[in-house]
Each structure stands twice: as structure tokens, then as C-alpha cells.
């Protein structure tokens, strides 16, 4: 597949790092030579210097023979024009654009992004998607990963087995039956930085990261029963003033459980802008590492510290500092892949993989299967799909055990006419069933054929 990525900043880099894992021919356009050079040194892409919305630049990128245009520069306007030019002059089949401004995303203008107006097939808003990911972690303190599925009727959770975890020593079957009268399904396990689908007799050990499914109504019961919950979040401190923290703060202001939310921002102009936007949030202008500023912000008494700065190293540094101040929940945004040995030393600090969140916004349209929605768990960790069984699918009316599943694929749950079913081998799939399945990176092509 030939793909043009417009923008070599953090968002563009995140997207490229994922796309290069597939059989894709990738061209990257940016008007910053430094960003382009850095990206070209790290990934096998063709860099083109220039404005992504200019026809001659898109022509140089061979837009005429391009399958997908992904416009994710820092300018909403440039992204929209690039899609318009790509459609009008080069007939690019699929256009994806980053749009962060609420002025464009207001529901009043929902007809704006259509072929007869601005021809964008998929609108992604990284700042809001990342903020929603962080809000999910705040809602379920104690979880390492939270992803609502099927319109929040189902949750995919992940947590790491620590020394005091009562899950250690349980088999997969024992874990799934641990809480009476509740259903849950283990989907995958990460052990020593490698992910796999465990058998029913696999025994959980310290350090395992367990991904499991459960229904929304049973979520809190299961988390409490497994002794994985932490204290309710009441005081939140954010490091970095941008669209992510602005959206986070605006949502926290609506939450009655939140007593206070504060933002530390180094640049005076940005701090002033945020203060005008957020009437009920304290915005503090000053050095992120200043003891005076940290004391004023109440770091020692906050329940959650969230770092959404532009650079990963800064995010990790301030959350490690917050952990030294005994902040219970520390979350940092990561835009680049971690060194495994470094990630293992983060203790119980959480990271939100910006690239996985962004890719999830467009993933269902990049896969060759009848997918209603899809989510990336991160580079090398596979994907979660919501798959529809159509009338033409040969798997309809088949028992699960009789289907030629890829070995790296697991079905976790079926939504059938509003009923949620945790299936077994003899469960028969029916037309219009929606399946929640896990697919590892190596099984994606086979799974696409299975649900084409």
C-alpha cells in the first residue's frame, strides 16, 4: 500500500512507526528539514521537504498513485487543504486528517467533512483521543490499561502481577472462575516483553501483564474481588499546558469526585490562554522542576500526576519525581517506543502509548476485514477487533471449534441481539454476531482473510 504522511512531528512519527511494520511504501512530507531528517534516519521512508497542502509537493510525492493520504501536521487548515487537493487533483481514494480545533469538531458542523464540502474520510483528534485514554485510567485506578468496547458495555483491562497480588499462582481457568457469578476472559499475557495467548493451565507469575475482558456491570466487582483497586482519585496535577491537558481539565471540572485539578505550564502565554479556558482549574506558570512551584501545586498531596509534555524524557522524569513524592498514580504520555530495560524500571508508573491511541483512531479503515472497530495495544502487542459476522461470512452457523482460527487469534466475547455471551468451543456463531477478538501482530493477515 502506498501511503503519504503529511507531518513529521510527534503524531506523524507515531503513525510512521506503526505503518513501517507492514508492507507499505511510505512518503513523509514536512516543511521542517530537521524533523524530516530525524525521521528518515530512524525509518525506511521517502522524505519530501515542503508544504503538504501545495499541489506540486503532493505531485512530487506521487499522489496520483497513492492509496491513503494521512494529513497530521500541526495545522488543521493545512491538513484539510491537503485532503482537498489530494481528492480534487489526484483522486486519492482515502483521506485521513488530524483536526484538533473544537471550532471544526462542533456537532453543529457535522456535515463539514463530506465529499461535497471537505473530502475527509476519517477525522482523527489525537489530543482528545489521548485525553480519553487517560480519563479511563483515572476512572479505574489500579489498572494499567483500560479500553471500553461495544459502546462501554464491555471493558478490556490490563494489570501487572506484583509481589502482593493474589492472582499469582492462579491458572487462567482459576482466574476466570475466581469471582463467583461473574464472567471474565483472559485475552493475552505479556511476559518479559513478549505477548502470547495463554492456555487454561498457564499459571500467573510475578511481573505478568494480564489483559482480560469483563462486562461493564461486573467491572468494579471483579477489580475489588481481585484486590486490584486503589483509592479514588480526588486531586489531579498535570504537567504541560496543551490541548490534552485542557480537555482533561475540562472533563475533570464536570466530575463531582474531583476536588481539585491543577496544571503547571512553563510558558506564560500558554498559561494565560489555559487560565481563560478553564475557570475551575488552577493554572500555575513556572519551572516544572522547581520545588517552590511543585509545593504551590500541591504535589505532595495529589492523588494523580499526569505528564503530557512534548518530549517523552520530560514526561518520564516528572512522573518519576512525582513517585518520589509518594503520588499514588503517575501517568506519562509516550510518543516513541521505549527501551525495554528502561520501561521495566518504571515500577508502577503508567504510560499511555500515543502512537497506539492515534493508530486506533484509523485502524479499522486500514484493515482488510469487516471490522466495526479496532484498537492497537501498542507496537508488537497486537490488536483488539470488533468483528461483524455478515451473511456472506462462511463462519456463520459454525461451531467455534470447527473454524480454522489462526493460532495467534482468540475470541473473547460475542454480542448477539443485545446479549453478551462469553463463548465456549461448542458455541455456534450466528449472522450479525459482533465478536471481540484479540489478534497478535503475526496473525493479522490470516485474521483479515477469515473475516474478509
- For the segment 159-179, what is each residue's pLDDT rounded down to a tens digit? 999 888 889 999 999 999 999
Is the pLDDT assigned to residue 187 strictly greater than 80? yes
- Residue 130 belongs to some domain of the structure: no
Question: Within this chain, do residues 162 and 197 fall inside the same structural domain, yes or no?
Answer: yes
Question: Within this chain, do residues 203 and 318 fall inside the same structural domain, yes or no?
Answer: no
Is the pLDDT assigned to residue 99 strictly greater than 80? yes
Contact assessment for residue 236 and residue 252, using Cβ atoms and an 8 Å cutoff:
yes
Helical segments of 325-391, H only: 340-343, 354-360, 363-366
- Residue 129 belongs to some domain of the structure: no
For the stretch 313-341, pLDDT in tens is 999 999 999 999 999 999 999 876 554 44
Question: Within this chain, do residues 88 and 159 fall inside the same structural domain, yes or no?
Answer: no
Question: Within this chain, do residues 320 and 368 fall inside the same structural domain, yes or no?
Answer: no
CATH number of the CATH domain containing 353: 3.40.50.720
Take residue 168 and report the three cell numbers written for it.
Answer: 499469582
pLDDT for 230: 82
Question: Within this chain, do residues 325 and 250 fall inside the same structural domain, yes or no?
Answer: yes
- Residue 168 belongs to some domain of the structure: yes
Is the pLDDT assigned to residue 192 strictly greater than 90? no
Count of domains forming the chain: 4
pLDDT for 145: 93
Is the pLDDT assigned to residue 2 strictly greater than 50? yes
In a 10 Å sphere around its CB, with 0-12 CB exposed, 13-18 middle and 19+ buried, how is residue 2 labelled?
A: middle
pLDDT for 95: 94
pLDDT for 362: 83
Question: Within this chain, do residues 87 and 188 fall inside the same structural domain, yes or no?
Answer: no
Maximal CA-CA distance, the chain: 66
pLDDT for 342: 46
pLDDT for 49: 97
- Residue 230 belongs to some domain of the structure: no
What residues make up the domain containing 299? 235-358
Q: Work out the mean pLDDT of the chain and round it to a whole number.
A: 90
Contact assessment for residue 122 and residue 362, using Cβ atoms and an 8 Å cutoff:
yes
pLDDT for 336: 64
For the stretch 121-135, pLDDT in tens is 888 888 899 999 999
- Residue 426 belongs to some domain of the structure: yes
Question: Within this chain, do residues 314 and 405 fall inside the same structural domain, yes or no?
Answer: no
Model confidence, pTM: 0.86
Q: How far apart are CA 320 and CA 394, in angstroms?
A: 52
What proportion of the chain, given as a percentage, has pLDDT over 90? Answer: 68
pLDDT for 341: 41
Question: Within this chain, do residues 374 and 443 fall inside the same structural domain, yes or no?
Answer: yes
Q: Which of 313, 333, 358 is the last residue of a domain?
A: 358
CATH number of the CATH domain containing 168: 3.30.70.1450
Is the pLDDT assigned to residue 344 strictly greater than 60? no
Q: Which of 358, 389, 414 is the last residue of a domain?
A: 358
Query: How many whole angstroms from its chain centre is CA 87?
Result: 28
Q: How far apart are CA 60 and CA 49, in angstroms?
A: 10
Q: Which of 195, 225, 255 is the last residue of a domain?
A: 225
Question: Within this chain, do residues 337 and 419 fall inside the same structural domain, yes or no?
Answer: no
**What is the secondary structure of 361-380 as a DSSP string?**
TTHHHHSSS-EEEEEE-STT
Amino acid at each position: 500500500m502506498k501511503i503519504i504522511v503529511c507531518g513529521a512531528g510527534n503524531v506523524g512519527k507515531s503513525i510512521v512507526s506503526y505503518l513501517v511494520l507492514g508492507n507499505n511504501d511510505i512518503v513523509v512530507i514536512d516543511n521542517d528539514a530537521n524533523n524530516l531528517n530525524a525521521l528518515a534516519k530512524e525509518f525506511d521512508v521517502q522524505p519530501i521537504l515542503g508544504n503538504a497542502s501545495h499541489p506540486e509537493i503532493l505531485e512530487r510525492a506521487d499522489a496520483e498513485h497513492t492509496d491513503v493520504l494521512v494529513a497530521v501536521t500541526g495545522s488543521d487548515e493545512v491538513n484539510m487543504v491537503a485532503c482537498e487537493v489530494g481528492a480534487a487533483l489526484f483522486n486519492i481514494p482515502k483521506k485521513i486528517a488530524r483536526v484538533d480545533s473544537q471550532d471544526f469538531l462542533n456537532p453543529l458542523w457535522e456535515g463539514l467533512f463530506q465529499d461535497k464540502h471537505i473530502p475527509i474520510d476519517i477525522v482523527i483528534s489525537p489530543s482528545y483521543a489521548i485525553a480519553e485514554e487517560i480519563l479511563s485510567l483515572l476512572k479505574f485506578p489500579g489498572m494499567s490499561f483500560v479500553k471500553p468496547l461495544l459502546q462501554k458495555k464491555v471493558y478490556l483491562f490490563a494489570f501487572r502481577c506484583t509481589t502482593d497480588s493474589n492472582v499469582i499462582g492462579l491458572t487462567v481457568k482459576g482466574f476466570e472462575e475466581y469471582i463467583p457469578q461473574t464472567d471474565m476472559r483472559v485475552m493475552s499475557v505479556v511476559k518479559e516483553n513478549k505477548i502470547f495467548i495463554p492456555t487454561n493451565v498457564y499459571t500467573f507469575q510475578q511481573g505478568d501483564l494480564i489483559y482480560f475482558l469483563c462486562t461493564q456491570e461486573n467491572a468494579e466487582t471483579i477489580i475489588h474481588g481481585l484486590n486490584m483497586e486503589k483509592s479514588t482519585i480526588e486531586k489531579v496535577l498535570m504537567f504541560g499546558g496543551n490541548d490534552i491537558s485542557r480537555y482533561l481539565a475540562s472533563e475533570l471540572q464536570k466530575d463531582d469526585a474531583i476536588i481539585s485539578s491543577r496544571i503547571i505550564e512553563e510558558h506564560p502565554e500558554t498559561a494565560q490562554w489555559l487560565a481563560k479556558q478553564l475557570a475551575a482549574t488552577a493554572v500555575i506558570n513556572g519551572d516544572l522542576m522547581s520545588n517552590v512551584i511543585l509545593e504551590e501545586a500541591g504535589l505532595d498531596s495529589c492523588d494523580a500526576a499526569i505528564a503530557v509534555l512534548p518530549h517523552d524524557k520530560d514526561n518520564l522524569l516528572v512522573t518519576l519525581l512525582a513517585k518520589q513524592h509518594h503520588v499514588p498514580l503517575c501517568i506519562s504520555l509516550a510518543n516513541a517506543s521505549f527501551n525495554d530495560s528502561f520501561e521495566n524500571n518504571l515500577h508502577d508508573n503508567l504510560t499511555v502509548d500515543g502512537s497506539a491511541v492515534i493508530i486506533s483512531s484509523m485502524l479499522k479503515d486500514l484493515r482488510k476485514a469487516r471490522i466495526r472497530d479496532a484498537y492497537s495495544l501498542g507496537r508488537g502487542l497486537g490488536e483488539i477487533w470488533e468483528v461483524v459476522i455478515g451473511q456472506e461470512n462462511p463462519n456463520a452457523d459454525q461451531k467455534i471449534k470447527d473454524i480454522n482460527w489462526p493460532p495467534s487469534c482468540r475470541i473473547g466475547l460475542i454480542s448477539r441481539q443485545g446479549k453478551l455471551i462469553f463463548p465456549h468451543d461448542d458455541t455456534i456463531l450466528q449472522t450479525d454476531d459482533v465478536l471481540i477478538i484479540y489478534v497478535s501482530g503475526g496473525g493479522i493477515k490470516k485474521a483479515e482473510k477469515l473475516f474478509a
